[in-house]
A and B are shown apart, each in its own frame.
Chain A
């Protein structure tokens, strides 16, 4: 019987305590931020959209290898022999044309693993977070500035260079072989 009345008393008392809490909060300042009108300033480390400074990219593919979800796709073309591709901001010389640097933000897991291996600090995460779209394909960001013609031109040149190199190599090899042969003996008749 005592327990019965104690229960009733406790119920009433604790309900009143709880009501007191909510009553006090009725007059405390709300913590909500009215988002589109007021925006929080994000700390500089905020990991939101990826950004690549293409001038600094040397096409080393470190970020592509580091990405755990394969959202970065890079294609490079070797620069010409005497071509000057400029320097990165930390003074490294660029040797490759980065003809394709695609980041699919729809796949990105925002781990920032790609940021750390970059030797030139070209890829970084920015506090930019408003990139919602209705179309998933627009999340694929292309950073490379080469036009398709330029790319095919560069690729063509690279192919030619490669061929030339291969030819040179083959010629070199052949020459070496011949030299070897010549050294081994001159008595053998030459074929054709």
Chain B
């Protein structure tokens, strides 16, 4: 709690004169709004980027019309369109759950932002169990997906939901194990502590720390995180060629937008975790580059990983369900376990 409060007190000195509970409430709400704003802006930019990147990778141009320069306002236009679209709820759908599902998915994504360390000063909540918290939050998204898929009363949605659940639950294991390898070497689960443990230059980052063990752990985490946020090649829950739209087949208008927003927020969260845990968070690669502020490094690293996610998406085909499980249980999990074992040995010896 302290760093954030300190940050806000520095920013707005008059807050410290207010009663404590009021100041804390204001700070909490302000931080939440900042995060929400960040998600919204990030999603706008990321969706535009995704379209441009996919366009150029496919010898196209992507959006070019709306807003003038390279169609920068296309996503805004689409958001407006989604806002004014008719909100369709299937007649036989389970209405309360149907309405709740996108909120849960989005809330889960938003909650993840609570522990992201933007810089040494600005961490909304520097929990002692920060990393574990993020892992636990992803189970909410699973329930949201299941809720949406089931309440749509559509068989394809249900298939998508079932796939989504089995996928996310399975891939949590290699992801957690890969992170555990780093937790073991750093000796803390606090996001701030994890970054602090990597201070120095680029070679002190966790990704190179126990070369090549943590490097492999990084790739394992990256692959597993792709699966957790349902991105290609693991986009089976929404695999459009098989399941039409997967769990969000029946969603339209703003409810669909919330699923979409949730997906992009999740993309950023997993990239940010990878950046924090493996790539040194807000730290610059070399001391000489220290004049660039920390949040820029942090966001830059996360965006780089988001770009790689997009790059993969526009390159790869989709896996099948059994291959997905094979990859998880027979490739990623044993490898991550072996890495934990080896890092343990390394630490002991």
Tell me whether A and B are bound partners: yes
Does the CB pair A30–B57 fall under 8 Å?
A: no
Does the CB pair A22–B57 fall under 8 Å?
A: yes
Contact flags A43-76 to B (C-beta < 8 A → 1, else 0)? 0000000000000000000000000000000000
Does the CB pair B53–A26 fall under 8 Å?
A: yes
A:1-18 near B, CB below 8 Å: 4, 8, 15, 18
Tell me if A90 is interfacial: C-beta within 8 Å of chain B: no
CA distance A119 to B320 in the complex (A): 62
Chain B, Cβ-Cβ closest to A27? B56
**Residues on the A chain within 8 Å of B330, using CB:** 4
A:75-129 near B, CB below 8 Å: none
Contact flags B50-84 to A (C-beta < 8 A → 1, else 0)? 00010111111100100000000000000000000
Tell me if A180 is interfacial: C-beta within 8 Å of chain B: no
**Residues on the B chain within 8 Å of A27, using CB:** 56
Does the CB pair B315–A26 fall under 8 Å?
A: no
**Residues on the A chain within 8 Å of B57, using CB:** 22-23, 25-26
CA distance A21 to B315 in the complex (A): 8
Q: Determine chain A's interface SS by DSSP, over half rule.
A: helix
Cβ-defined partner of B58 (8 Å) among A18, A23, A25: A25
Tell me if B140 is interfacial: C-beta within 8 Å of chain A: no
**Residues on the B chain within 8 Å of A8, using CB:** 331
Given that A8-B331, A26-B53 are known contacts, is A19 also in contact with B59, CB under 8 Å in the complex? no
Number of B residues, CB within 8 Å of A: 16
Tell me if B316 is interfacial: C-beta within 8 Å of chain A: yes
Tell me if A32 is interfacial: C-beta within 8 Å of chain B: yes
**Residues on the B chain within 8 Å of A23, using CB:** 57, 311
Does the CB pair A30–B55 fall under 8 Å?
A: yes
**Residues on the B chain within 8 Å of A179, using CB:** none
Does the CB pair B311–A25 fall under 8 Å?
A: no
Given that A18-B315, A19-B315, A23-B311 are known contacts, is A28 also in contact with B61, CB under 8 Å in the complex? no
Chain A interface residue number, banded: 10 to 19
Does the CB pair B53–A32 fall under 8 Å?
A: no
Tell me if B314 is interfacial: C-beta within 8 Å of chain A: yes
Tell me if A183 is interfacial: C-beta within 8 Å of chain B: no
Given that A8-B331, A15-B316, A18-B316 are known contacts, is A30 also in contact with B311, CB under 8 Å in the complex? no
Tell me if A31 is interfacial: C-beta within 8 Å of chain B: yes
Tell me if B312 is interfacial: C-beta within 8 Å of chain A: yes
CA distance A27 to B64 in the complex (A): 17
CA distance A29 to B60 in the complex (A): 8
B:296-317 near A, CB below 8 Å: 311-312, 314-316
Does the CB pair B59–A15 fall under 8 Å?
A: no
Does the CB pair A25–B316 fall under 8 Å?
A: no
CA distance A8 to B311 in the complex (A): 20
Does the CB pair A30–B56 fall under 8 Å?
A: yes
**Residues on the B chain within 8 Å of A18, using CB:** 315-316
CA distance A4 to B326 in the complex (A): 11
Does the CB pair B61–A25 fall under 8 Å?
A: no
Tell me if A34 is interfacial: C-beta within 8 Å of chain B: yes
| Cβ contacts A to B, 19 pairs, < 8 Å | A15-B315, A15-B316, A18-B315, A18-B316, A22-B314, A22-B315, A25-B56, A25-B57, A25-B59, A26-B53, A26-B57, A29-B59, A30-B55, A30-B59, A30-B61, A31-B60, A32-B59, A32-B60, A32-B61
Residues of A within 8 A of B (CB): 4, 8, 15, 18-19, 21-23, 25-32, 34
Residues of B within 8 A of A (CB): 53, 55-61, 64, 311-312, 314-316, 330-331
Known contacts A19-B315, A29-B59; 17 additional CB pairs below 8 A are A15-B312, A19-B311, A19-B312, A22-B311, A22-B315, A23-B57, A23-B311, A25-B57, A25-B58, A25-B59, A26-B57, A27-B56, A30-B56, A30-B59, A31-B60, A32-B61, A34-B64
